[in-house]
Structure 1
Amino acid sequence: MTAVTTIAALCVVSLTGCTVFTPVDTDTKQYALSTIPGDLPTERTHAATLLVLVPETAPAYATPRMAYTTRKYEIAYFSQNAWAETPAQMILPLIVETFRRTRYFSAVTSPPYFGRFTFLLRTEIIELEQDFTSDPAVLRLTVRFDLMRGTTNQQIAEKEFSVQEPLSERNPYAGVEAANGAVGRLLRELSTFVLKNAH
């Protein structure tokens, strides 16, 4: 009886070891948002610094998990497809580089930054999901921007941009392609908005 108990215990330990200590191969594919439009507005350089804050994000999208919906009011996440970083972490450097390419500001920076700045750009990611309830399916990206004056913290202008980009196929990778297209359109509109109001 004791021998049988011992063998059973060893089997349990062995099985537990396989479950706990063996790496699980999930084969999760990771994707990036990396598109910066080529046809950005450019102007002569002004003696002004733009500080771009890290985007705030609605809780449902403040994760590397890739969101989608197949039913109204419901958000789900792909199990084997994800963003390489959170949307905020990927979009921040794209905004910074976009404004550097416009050459409008003498300096464009992001936190951590402790120097003086002329303008402050706040961003809120409200929605970033693949919507399969429509035909064709679309990528929905909604972002709100606030342009502030650095010396007084006074709001200069505010605008909410909502972009819908159709998916070429009904799958996660087509959603990634559409998301990059939507980000490119968003950055183009944002650059025009900021350059128009940063005076």
Structure 2
Amino acid sequence: MKAYMGRASFVALCVVLCAGCALLSPVKIDTKKYVLDRIPLDLPIAQAHSATLLVLVPETDPIYATTQMTYTSQAYQIAYFSQNEWAETPSQMIQPLIVETLRRTHYFSEILAPPHFGSHTYALRTEILELKQDFSSNPAILRLTMRFYLSREVTAQVIATKELSVQEPLRDRSPYAGVVAANEAMVYVLRELAKFTVEKAH
């Protein structure tokens, strides 16, 4: 009887210890990852030129130089979603979109991107100034602001600049709706960037 009680106590102790370990184990939280990958279909198709273009990696405000997705719910505040993030930094996702968009205009004979610099006629530098979901407004909106600089390689002189700011409404107040709005805003920005680059590179 004593042996039975001893075994029962041992089993009970093991159950308690295992339960305690389970409580102390970190909870696994699945993080959803999202991408910016849309390119405008209605691009200006220009006559081909011999000029070449170098598309530099976009510079980014430090707030947005991360895979964390930013949002604001009140003035002067920036926060990051805990279970939703970008698959890559905005800069890493946007640069190939710029390259592909400008290739589809057929204006430049070649479009280069780092690390392949090579000789080029023009260089395009971009800045990501803002990329956040704004829940302080009604409806909530996605704010995207970018600035472009086009320069000549020979003189390194900036020949044209343009800043675009887009406010795209969210379908609902959720991180995913913000991603959809960000892709819509990106389509508009890329279309305007293509027009700007082709017009100023004449």
Same fold (TM over 0.5): yes
Could you say which residue in structure 2 is the equivalent of 1:106? 109
Instruction: Give the root-mean-square deviation of aligned CA atoms.
Output: 1.7
TM (norm. structure 1) is: 0.88
Unmatched runs of 5 consecutive residues or more in structure 2:
1-16
Question: Does the residue aligned with 1:176 lie in a helix, a strand or coil?
Answer: helix
Q: Say whether 1:178 aligns with 2:177.
A: no
Q: Does the 8 A contact of 2:54 with 2:117 survive in 1?
A: no
Runs of at least 4 residues of structure 1 off by over 6 A?
none
Could you say which residue in structure 1 is the equivalent of 2:12? none
Match of 1:140 among 138, 143, 163: 143
CA distance in 1, matches of 2:133, 2:28: 26
Q: Deviations over 1:21-63 (max 9, x none)?
A: x7x5221000000010000001111001110000000010000
Measure how far apart 1:115 and its partner are.
Answer: 1.3
Q: Deviations over 1:43-88 (max 9, x none)?
A: 1110011100000000100000000000101000000000000000
Match of 2:66 among 44, 52, 63: 63
AA paired with 2:190? L
Count of matched residue positions in the alignment of Structure 1 and Structure 2: 184
Q: Say whether 1:74 aligns with 2:77.
A: yes
Unmatched runs of 5 consecutive residues or more in structure 1:
1-10
Q: How does 1:1-199 map to 2 (within 5 A)?
A: 19=25, 25-199=28-202
CA distance in 2, matches of 1:42, 1:84: 31
AA paired with 1:198? A
Bigger radius of gyration among the two: 2
CA distance in 2, matches of 1:26, 1:179: 25
CA distance in 1, matches of 2:159, 2:108: 16
